[in-house]
């Protein structure tokens, strides 16, 4: 539980594009401008800046200079898909400590070809994985999905239901790149990428940016009357790292969930903004959080409505699977969507009850196990 | 301006930590690290025991194990592999109790299922000094 109160006071998003070569900095500026306009804050009110991207070699201090921010706090939140929720945790720590009272947290991606996009593969991926002709993250998640299907009898239809439900929610989300209906047959018939992962299990890379504004409670009250609090948050890095025979279908989210639900009731969550680089990753996280037994995720999705107006709303804006994955902004999308919902601003896809949301981030598929980083938070609207 | 070259298959960037492993593979030996303090066997090569941070020795594995899970790669990350799709990318549980990521080769690889016994098979790369430990189904 947070010792002092930290609030989410605003957000800004760009449009997402599959073709734009807008430089990374341009996307940042668009998202930040939207967040400043929403909150009424001026640039001089911002004392902290966090940057998460893989599309530019410029780290947070460089970006701060380019954008003209004089700061008391700066962060490179470089945790893969966990970068959004991870940045929130670290900014909240700094606000609690009194280092600053308002922070901008920005994630983005760009197809600007004038800068290097691809980082070299890390040692273990380069020397012991890529040499065999693997297919990137799609292949590593396929290894996990096959085990889940074989060990627990999970079906493609059960996994596909997550993608289909999220698409339904995306149909009225103007930010989503994919808004046409998707049927189960569309999902099952989509092209095989790395068995059993098929095309509609995968996210569409795109460019764009997301910006979050975090503030101390005192400052938040001056900015908005829509007060959304960070209630609790937890993180696990390299779960099972010393276990040479790890449980590949259990993520570190199991321990994150135990910590989170020691502080808030599991049944008190209205919305589930669950990092969705793949539908199987959503299913495993639902199990890890204890909403059903390990291996029963398929049966769980069979018996629940996962759409934004369902009884267990998952990724109410369509998630990365339907909105698109703007690189590491993907880890911010879920926080921003939760904030939209809790503020009652999710036009066209607003959930019926939206007071408390669980938001997750996962990052790095690691060697022989599953995820390097798993992080989650609970946020809540209070009067 | 440099001539455009066809993409090359990925090779390990061998460093002092994993050099013994690659030198072993070049001689058809599958080497694993073993902790001098707690006896734990580990892979991939590291500078310390992943469990107790102890110092490490190298031991030779039998090179046998079973299929833990697998995928058929249709779209390799490195396009140099695209003529070989589908690539049978596997996780093997070695008999020493360690998971290895690798590739399944052999005429009968299409028959693979979880739990199948496999044995190591060393594949020469385009670098004459580097062999890759791959696997094939054991009879
Ligand atoms: Zn040890």
| Residue A360 belongs to some domain of the structure | yes
If asked whether residues B50 and B76 sit together in one domain, one would say: no
If asked whether residues B106 and B137 sit together in one domain, one would say: yes
Distance A102 CA to ligand 1 centre (A): 45
Distance B64 CA to ligand 1 centre (A): 23
Distance B49 CA to ligand 1 centre (A): 5
Contacts of A123 in chain B (CB under 8 A): 13, 15
If asked whether residues B40 and B84 sit together in one domain, one would say: no
If asked whether residues B74 and B129 sit together in one domain, one would say: yes
Q: Find the chain A residues whose C-beta atoms sit closer than 8 A to any C-beta of B.
A: 123-124, 126-136, 138-139, 142-144, 146-147, 150, 191-197, 241-242, 244-246, 248, 367-369
Reported as a single tens digit per residue, the pLDDT across A133-157 is 999 999 999 999 999 999 999 999 9
Reported as a single tens digit per residue, the pLDDT across A49-99 is 999 998 888 899 999 999 999 999 999 999 999 999 999 999 999 999 999
Res A206 pLDDT > 90: yes
Name the residue among B69, B75, B125 with its Cβ closest to that of A135.
B75
Q: Name B104's bridge partners.
A: B88, B135
If asked whether residues B136 and B80 sit together in one domain, one would say: yes
**pLDDT category, A172, cuts 50, 70, 90?**
very high
If asked whether residues B120 and B87 sit together in one domain, one would say: yes
Tell me whether B101 touches chain A (CB under 8 Å).
Answer: yes
Contacts of B89 in chain A (CB under 8 A): 132-135, 139, 143, 194
Final residue before a domain boundary, out of B61, B93, B114 = B61
If asked whether residues A219 and A277 sit together in one domain, one would say: no
State the pLDDT at residue A55. Answer: 86
If asked whether residues B124 and B71 sit together in one domain, one would say: yes
**pLDDT category, A120, cuts 50, 70, 90?**
confident
If asked whether residues A142 and A261 sit together in one domain, one would say: yes
Range of the domain at B35: 16-61
pTM of the model as a whole? 0.97
If asked whether residues B114 and B125 sit together in one domain, one would say: yes
> A251 is written with which tokens?
């993520």
If asked whether residues B81 and B130 sit together in one domain, one would say: yes
User: Nearest-CA residue of chain B relative to A196?
Assistant: B71
If asked whether residues A75 and A132 sit together in one domain, one would say: no
User: Nearest-CA residue of chain B relative to A122?
Assistant: B13
| Residue A375 belongs to some domain of the structure | yes
Range of the domain at A351: 123-204+231-382
Which positions 33-92 of B are in contact with A (Cβ < 8 Å)?
40-44, 50-51, 68-78, 81, 84, 86-87, 89, 91
Contacts of B51 in chain A (CB under 8 A): 242
Distance B52 CA to ligand 1 centre (A): 4
3-state secondary structure of A158: helix
Q: Count of CB atoms within 10 A of residue B49's CB? A: 21
Calculate the alpha carbon distances from A78 to A54, A107, A208, A327 in Å. Answer: 8, 10, 17, 12
Contacts of B46 in chain A (CB under 8 A): none
If asked whether residues A37 and A158 sit together in one domain, one would say: no
- Mean pLDDT over B25-47 rounds to 98
Say whether A143 and B97 touch across the interface (CB within 8 A). Answer: no
Say whether B75 and A194 touch across the interface (CB within 8 A). Answer: yes
- Mean pLDDT over B35-45 rounds to 98
**pLDDT category, A116, cuts 50, 70, 90?**
low
Ligand 1 ion local residues (Cβ < 5 A): B 35, 37-38, 40, 49, 51-52, 54
Q: Count of CB atoms within 10 A of residue A327's CB? A: 26
If asked whether residues A86 and A131 sit together in one domain, one would say: no
Structure ipTM: 0.96
CB–CB of B112/B83 below 8 Å? no
| Residue A1 belongs to some domain of the structure | no
| Residue B9 belongs to some domain of the structure | no
Name the residue among A6, A1, A4, A70 with its Cα closest to residue A223: A6
Across the beta sheet with B30-35, the strand order is: B41-42, B30-35, B56-61
| Residue B81 belongs to some domain of the structure | yes
- Mean pLDDT over B33-44 rounds to 98
Count of structural domains, chain B? 2
State the pLDDT at residue B1. Answer: 43
Strand pairing report for A102-109 and A208-216: antiparallel
| Residue B1 belongs to some domain of the structure | no
User: Nearest-CA residue of chain A relative to B48?
Assistant: A242
Query: Minimal Cα–Cα distance from B74 to chain A, Å?
Result: 5
State the pLDDT at residue A334. Answer: 98
Rounded to the nearest integer, the mean pLDDT of chain A is 96
If asked whether residues A145 and A244 sit together in one domain, one would say: yes
State the pLDDT at residue A240. Answer: 96
If asked whether residues A346 and A251 sit together in one domain, one would say: yes
Say whether A367 and B50 touch across the interface (CB within 8 A). Answer: no
- The pLDDT > 70 percentage for chain A reads 99
Distance A256 CA to ligand 1 centre (A): 26
Count of structural domains, chain A? 2
Say whether A128 and B101 touch across the interface (CB within 8 A). Answer: yes
If asked whether residues B53 and B67 sit together in one domain, one would say: no
Query: Minimal Cα–Cα distance from B81 to chain A, Å?
Result: 6
Res B61 pLDDT > 70: yes
Indicate which CATH number applies to the domain containing A71. Answer: 3.40.47.10
Final residue before a domain boundary, out of A194, A229, A264 = A229
Radius of gyration of chain B (CA): 16
Indicate which CATH number applies to the domain containing B72. Answer: 2.40.50.840
| Residue B2 belongs to some domain of the structure | no
Distance B56 CA to ligand 1 centre (A): 8
If asked whether residues B88 and B26 sit together in one domain, one would say: no
State the pLDDT at residue A114. Answer: 83
Reported as a single tens digit per residue, the pLDDT across A253-280 is 999 999 999 999 999 999 999 999 999 9
- Mean pLDDT over A36-41 rounds to 98
Res B2 pLDDT > 60: no
If asked whether residues B56 and B69 sit together in one domain, one would say: no
If asked whether residues A250 and A165 sit together in one domain, one would say: yes
* Candidate from A59-63, A108-112, A113-117, A241-245 with smallest mean pLDDT: A113-117
Radius of gyration of chain A (CA): 19
Say whether A133 and B87 touch across the interface (CB within 8 A). Answer: yes
| Residue A11 belongs to some domain of the structure | yes
User: Nearest-CA residue of chain B relative to A131?
Assistant: B10
If asked whether residues A257 and A345 sit together in one domain, one would say: yes
| Residue A330 belongs to some domain of the structure | yes
Sequence-separated contacts (24+) of B35-44 with Cβ below 8 Å: B40/A242, B40/A244, B41/A244, B41/B96, B41/B97, B41/B98, B42/A244, B42/B98, B43/A244, B43/A368, B43/B94, B43/B98, B43/B99, B43/B100, B44/A124, B44/A127, B44/A128, B44/A367, B44/B18
Say whether A146 and B42 touch across the interface (CB within 8 A). Answer: no
State the pLDDT at residue A117. Answer: 61
If asked whether residues A196 and A255 sit together in one domain, one would say: yes
Name the residue among A191, A149, A146, A202 with its Cα closest to residue B74: A191
Res B26 pLDDT > 60: yes
If asked whether residues A73 and A143 sit together in one domain, one would say: no
Instruction: Return the biggest CA–CA distance within chain B.
Output: 55
Contacts of B72 in chain A (CB under 8 A): 192, 194-195
Reported as a single tens digit per residue, the pLDDT across B98-121 is 999 999 999 999 999 999 999 999
If asked whether residues A140 and A287 sit together in one domain, one would say: yes
| Residue B138 belongs to some domain of the structure | yes
Distance A332 CA to ligand 1 centre (A): 38
């Amino acid at each position: 539980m947070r010792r002092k109160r930290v609030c989410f006071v605003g957000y800004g998003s760009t449009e997402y594009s599959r073709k734009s070569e807008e430089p990374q900095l341009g996307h940042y500026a668009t998202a930040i401008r939207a967040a400043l306009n929403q909150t009424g804050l001026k640039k001089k009110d911002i004392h902290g800046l966090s940057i998460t991207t893989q599309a530019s070699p410029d780290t947070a201090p460089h970006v701060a200079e380019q954008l003209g921010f004089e700061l008391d706090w700066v962060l490179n939140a470089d945790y893969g898909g966990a970068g959004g929720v991870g940045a929130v945790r670290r900014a909240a720590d700094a606000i609690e400590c009194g280092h600053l009272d308002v922070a901008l947290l920005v994630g983005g991606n760009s197809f600007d070809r004038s800068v290097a996009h691809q980082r070299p593969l890390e040692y273990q991926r380069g020397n012991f994985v890529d040499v065999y002709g693997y297919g990137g993250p799609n292949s590593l998640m396929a290894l996990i999905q096959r085990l889940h299907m074989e060990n627990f009898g999970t079906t493609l239809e059960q996994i596909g239901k997550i993608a289909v439900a999220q698409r339904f929610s995306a149909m009225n989300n103007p930010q989503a790149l994919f808004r046409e209906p998707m049927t189960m047959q569309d999902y099952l018939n989509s092209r095989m990428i790395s068995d059993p992962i098929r095309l509609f299990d995968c996210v569409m890379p795109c460019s764009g940016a997301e910006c979050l504004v975090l503030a101390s409670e005192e400052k938040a009250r001056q900015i908005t009357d829509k007060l959304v609090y960070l209630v609790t948050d937890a993180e696990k890095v390299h779960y099972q790292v010393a276990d040479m025979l790890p449980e590949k279908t259990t993520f570190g989210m199991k321990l994150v969930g135990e910590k989170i639900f020691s502080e808030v009731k599991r049944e008190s969550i209205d919305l589930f903004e669950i990092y969705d680089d793949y539908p199987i990753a959503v299913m495993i996280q639902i199990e890890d959080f204890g909403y059903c037994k390990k291996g029963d995720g398929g049966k769980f999705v069979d018996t629940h409505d996962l759409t934004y107006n369902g009884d267990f709303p998952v990724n109410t804006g369509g998630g990365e699977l339907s909105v698109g994955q703007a690189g590491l902004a993907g880890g911010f999308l879920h926080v921003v969507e939760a904030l939209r919902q809790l503020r009652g601003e999710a036009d066209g896809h607003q959930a019926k009850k939206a007071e408390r949301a669980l938001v997750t981030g996962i990052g790095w598929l690691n060697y022989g196990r599953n995820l390097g980083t798993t992080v989650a938070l609970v946020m809540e609207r209070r009067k | 301006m440099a001539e455009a070259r066809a993409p090359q298959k990925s090779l390990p960037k061998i460093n002092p930590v994993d050099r013994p492993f690659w030198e072993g593979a070049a001689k058809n030996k599958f080497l694993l690290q073993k902790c001098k303090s707690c006896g734990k066997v580990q892979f991939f090569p590291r500078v310390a025991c992943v469990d107790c941070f102890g110092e490490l020795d190298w031991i030779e594995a039998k090179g046998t194990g079973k299929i833990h899970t697998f995928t058929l790669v249709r779209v390799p990350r490195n396009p140099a592999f695209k003529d070989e799709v589908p690539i049978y990318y596997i996780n093997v549980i070695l008999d020493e109790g360690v998971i290895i990521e690798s590739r399944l080769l052999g005429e009968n690889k299409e028959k693979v299922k979880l739990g199948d016994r496999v044995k190591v098979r060393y594949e020469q790369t385009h670098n004459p000094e580097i062999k890759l430990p791959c696997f094939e189904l054991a009879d």
